[in-house]
Protein backbone atom coordinates (compact mmCIF):
# COMPACT_ATOMS: atom_id res chain seq x y z
CA UNK A 1 0.00 0.00 0.00
CA UNK A 2 1.25 3.46 -0.85
CA UNK A 3 1.49 6.55 1.29
CA UNK A 4 -1.77 7.67 2.86
CA UNK A 5 -3.40 10.61 1.17
CA UNK A 6 -4.27 13.19 3.78
CA UNK A 7 -4.12 16.45 1.83
CA UNK A 8 -7.16 17.92 0.10
CA UNK A 9 -7.18 19.88 -3.15
CA UNK A 10 -10.35 21.48 -4.47
CA UNK A 11 -11.32 23.05 -7.77
CA UNK A 12 -14.52 24.34 -9.30
CA UNK A 13 -16.31 22.96 -12.35
CA UNK A 14 -19.62 23.64 -14.03
CA UNK A 15 -22.55 21.32 -13.35
CA UNK A 16 -22.14 19.90 -16.85
CA UNK A 17 -18.39 19.30 -16.41
CA UNK A 18 -19.10 17.54 -13.11
CA UNK A 19 -21.65 15.25 -14.75
CA UNK A 20 -19.34 14.43 -17.67
CA UNK A 21 -16.44 13.62 -15.33
CA UNK A 22 -18.59 11.53 -12.96
CA UNK A 23 -20.20 9.59 -15.83
CA UNK A 24 -16.80 8.89 -17.38
CA UNK A 25 -15.12 7.67 -14.20
CA UNK A 26 -18.13 5.53 -13.30
CA UNK A 27 -17.74 3.69 -16.64
CA UNK A 28 -14.05 3.15 -15.91
CA UNK A 29 -14.67 1.93 -12.38
CA UNK A 30 -12.56 4.71 -10.88
CA UNK A 31 -13.36 7.42 -8.38
CA UNK A 32 -13.23 11.08 -9.33
CA UNK A 33 -10.22 11.49 -7.03
CA UNK A 34 -8.31 8.63 -8.68
CA UNK A 35 -9.08 9.89 -12.17
CA UNK A 36 -8.29 13.57 -11.55
CA UNK A 37 -5.11 12.72 -9.64
CA UNK A 38 -3.86 10.43 -12.43
CA UNK A 39 -4.84 12.94 -15.16
CA UNK A 40 -2.97 15.78 -13.45
CA UNK A 41 0.10 13.66 -12.76
CA UNK A 42 0.14 12.33 -16.34
CA UNK A 43 -0.04 15.90 -17.68
CA UNK A 44 2.97 16.75 -15.51
CA UNK A 45 4.83 13.69 -16.87
CA UNK A 46 4.10 14.80 -20.43
CA UNK A 47 5.54 18.22 -19.53
CA UNK A 48 8.74 16.50 -18.35
CA UNK A 49 8.29 16.91 -14.59
CA UNK A 50 10.69 14.39 -13.04
CA UNK A 51 8.95 14.30 -9.65
CA UNK A 52 5.70 13.30 -11.37
CA UNK A 53 7.56 10.56 -13.26
CA UNK A 54 8.78 9.16 -9.94
CA UNK A 55 5.20 9.06 -8.63
CA UNK A 56 4.13 7.10 -11.70
CA UNK A 57 7.04 4.65 -11.44
CA UNK A 58 6.40 4.09 -7.72
CA UNK A 59 2.68 3.53 -8.33
CA UNK A 60 3.25 1.14 -11.21
CA UNK A 61 5.81 -0.74 -9.15
CA UNK A 62 3.39 -1.21 -6.25
CA UNK A 63 0.58 -2.30 -8.58
CA UNK A 64 2.88 -4.75 -10.37
CA UNK A 65 3.90 -6.33 -7.05
CA UNK A 66 0.25 -6.60 -5.98
CA UNK A 67 -0.69 -8.27 -9.28
CA UNK A 68 2.24 -10.68 -9.06
CA UNK A 69 1.27 -11.62 -5.50
CA UNK A 70 -2.31 -12.29 -6.59
CA UNK A 71 -1.09 -14.44 -9.46
CA UNK A 72 1.29 -16.37 -7.18
CA UNK A 73 -1.53 -17.09 -4.72
CA UNK A 74 -3.76 -18.24 -7.57
CA UNK A 75 -1.01 -20.55 -8.85
CA UNK A 76 -0.44 -21.91 -5.34
CA UNK A 77 -4.14 -22.66 -5.05
CA UNK A 78 -4.18 -24.39 -8.42
CA UNK A 79 -1.12 -26.41 -7.42
CA UNK A 80 -2.77 -27.46 -4.16
CA UNK A 81 -5.94 -28.48 -6.01
CA UNK A 82 -3.90 -30.54 -8.48
CA UNK A 83 -2.14 -32.45 -5.69
CA UNK A 84 -5.43 -33.07 -3.85
CA UNK A 85 -6.83 -34.93 -6.86
- Per-residue pLDDT tens over the stretch 16-34: 999 999 999 999 999 999 9
Using pLDDT thresholds of 50, 70 and 90, give the confidence band for residue 65: confident
pTM flag (> 0.75): no
pLDDT at 62: 82
The residue ranking higher by pLDDT, 53 or 17, is 17
Task: Collect all residues with Cβ–Cβ distance below 8 Å to 2 and sequence separation of at least 6.
Answer: 58, 59, 62
Please report the DSSP string for 18-77 in residue order: HHHHHHHHHHHT--HHHHHHHHHHHHHHHTT-HHHHHHHHHHHHHHHHHHHHHHHHHHHH
Amino acid sequence: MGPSRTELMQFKVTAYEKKVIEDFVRKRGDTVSEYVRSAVIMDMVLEGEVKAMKIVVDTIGRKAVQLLNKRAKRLEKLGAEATDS
